Amino acid sequence: MLCVRHCHTNVHVRPFVIIAAAEKPVLPNAEAPPCRTHRSVTSASGHKQKRATDRPTPTIRRIRSSGRADGHCNELACRLAPAPRDNETSSSAQPQKPPRRRQQRWRKRGGGAAIVRGMSYGGSSSLAPGAKRPFEYGRTHVVRPKGTHKATIVWLHGLGDNGTSWSQLLETLPLPNIKWICPTAPSRPVSLFGGFPCTAWFDVADLSEDAPDDTEGMDASAAHVANLLSTEPADIKLGVGGFSMGAATALYSATCFAHGKYGNGNPYPVNLSLAVGLSGWLPCARTLKNRIEASPEAAQRASTIPLLLCHGKADDVVLYKHGQRSTDALKANGFSNVLFKSYNSLGHYTVPEEMDEVCKWLTANLGLGTSSS
């Protein structure tokens, strides 16, 4: 769930809260699966609108009060129900026959349709090298550069969210030379919620660097990121970033790049230029030392890749201490080009000050300058 109050746009999204559901207990201090009602879309003029579907799934959601977890509203009458994937329609709605003059891709699962149109395209299956099972990823949203294309960054959303909300924010940033790719994670059972399914880049039992590692799930998501970047032109700089669980996946991808291998030992194929993590943590921190010390080449890559970590001291979902510990673990294991930025009153969401810092850092480390040509 994206929670942002940004100066570059008139869209305002307030912090999120956990719902109380009749069938499920309240989940304190955790990112939670998406709520199916009481959502709304805020237009550019600031007016709240209902989406024209039977069960709306907005791209950016207004939440009524501050809260603790991704994707929920503070409505006691709201019941917890599995949400269709971002690229699926409700089972009660019959898919329409695609117009002959438009290219469309239909998915059989759930009767939903993923439309290939403009800046988004349909879901796909990704299988990390050596993995036992494929993961079905949702719709991917692409923000094209407004100026000369110089860099491509895959940006990963948080637990229970989708790629749409972040793509709308990233489009407003003053970074005309960057192409943004915002995929949607597969829906899978999450141990943190007792096996309840929601969009997640990997399974997680605790939102910290001390959590048990779902190496197979992280390898699959890191491979999905690498696949999205692998088709970019050779002269384009490549990066990965994310928020919350997306930040954890981005940092894991950076460690795979440094090591030269995925967690399962298969080669990592992409040359990353940098990575960004907002309100996240570092997975597999306990094994990082052995991975980086495996070869001189790994130590060299670790020492040169720029990393930006940002965290709010008021974050009560992924605690501030986890951001600090992740930074310390990276620096202690050879990642010398790490910048950690903290924000005193920032909770588990983003603010203009943080996004301005991201823009300045990306501009400097990608050599973009100030020109949009």
Q: Would you please indicate which residues are annotated as catalytic (active-site) residues?
A: 244, 315, 348
Distance, CA of 311 to CA of 358 (rounded, Å): 12
Q: Are 88 and 81 in contact (CB under 8 A)?
A: no
Dihedral sign for Cα atoms in the order 22, 28, 34, 40: positive
Both tokens of 304, joined, read: 């040169």
Q: Which residues neighbour 301 within 8 Å (Cβ) at sequence distance 6 or greater?
A: 257, 258, 260
Q: Are 137 and 126 in contact (CB under 8 A)?
A: yes
Distance, CA of 314 to CA of 173 (rounded, Å): 25
Which DSSP string do the residues of 153-185 spell out, in sequence order? Answer: EEEE--TT--HHHHHHHHTTSS-TTEEEEE--P
